[in-house]
């Protein structure tokens, strides 16, 4: 459908651009993310495996790679549901790290960060829709229920046949 061919690249563009920007200025993004990351790792001490990198620059690079890779996949229509979920998983911590408007005292800056936070919430809504979009095909849930129903009906037929044979 033409709508998907237009909407997916439009939605993906901000993530691809953001990922490229983060790769170009990894240290700047890492410095901005560091307070959030430190706070998060402190709260999740003992929950997050030690193998998970804690260096802000490394995490920024990983996040950027996810944004570029999943953004390109979404734009191209390749595994769009998975790509949307990956982008959503990237968007949440990015938003919480970069747009903490509730901590800002200066009214103009607070309002600007609140706008960015709400914009990202809107993007999250778009990604949720994209993740749920089956492109006109039945969902996995529907297909699973239908297969279970068919299996149940088939099993009932087999049971009736077996019962007839036993009663003969």
- pLDDT score of 162: 85
Answer yes or no: do 160 and 119 share one domain. Answer: no
Q: Which helix (H) or strand (E) holds 25?
A: none
Going by the DSSP 8-state scheme, the letter that residue 136 receives in this structure is T
Which mean pLDDT values do the consecutive 10-residue runs of the chain (168 residues) have?
Answer: 90 97 96 92 89 93 97 96 97 92 95 96 96 82 87 90 82
Q: Examine the domain organization and report whether 87 and 159 are in the same domain.
A: no
* Same-domain check for residues 117 and 156: no
Cα(2)–Cα(125) distance, rounded to whole angstroms?
20
Name the residue with tokens 């993007």. 123
At 105 the pLDDT is: 95
Please give the model's pTM, rounded to 2 decimal places. 0.78
Closest residue by Cα to residue 151 from 163, 162, 143? 143
Q: Structural domain tally of the chain?
A: 2
pLDDT at 15: 97
Q: What is the pLDDT of residue 101?
A: 94
């Amino acid at each position: 459908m033409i709508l998907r061919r237009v909407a997916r690249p439009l939605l993906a563009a901000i993530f691809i651009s953001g990922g490229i920007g983060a790769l170009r200025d990894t240290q700047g993004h890492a410095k901005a993310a560091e307070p959030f990351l430190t706070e998060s790792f402190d709260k999740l001490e003992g929950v997050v495996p030690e193998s998970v990198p804690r260096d802000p620059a490394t995490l920024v690079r990983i996040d950027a790679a996810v944004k570029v890779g999943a953004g390109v996949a979404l734009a191209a229509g390749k595994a769009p549901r998975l790509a949307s979920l990956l982008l959503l998983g990237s968007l949440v911590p990015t938003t919480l790290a970069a747009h903490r408007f509730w901590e800002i005292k200066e009214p103009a800056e607070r309002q600007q960060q609140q706008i960015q936070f709400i914009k990202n919430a809107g993007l999250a809504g778009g990604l949720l829709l994209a993740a749920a979009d089956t492109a006109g095909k039945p969902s996995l849930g529907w297909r699973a229920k239908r297969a279970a129903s068919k299996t149940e009906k088939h099993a009932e037929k087999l049971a009736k046949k077996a019962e007839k044979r036993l009663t003969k």
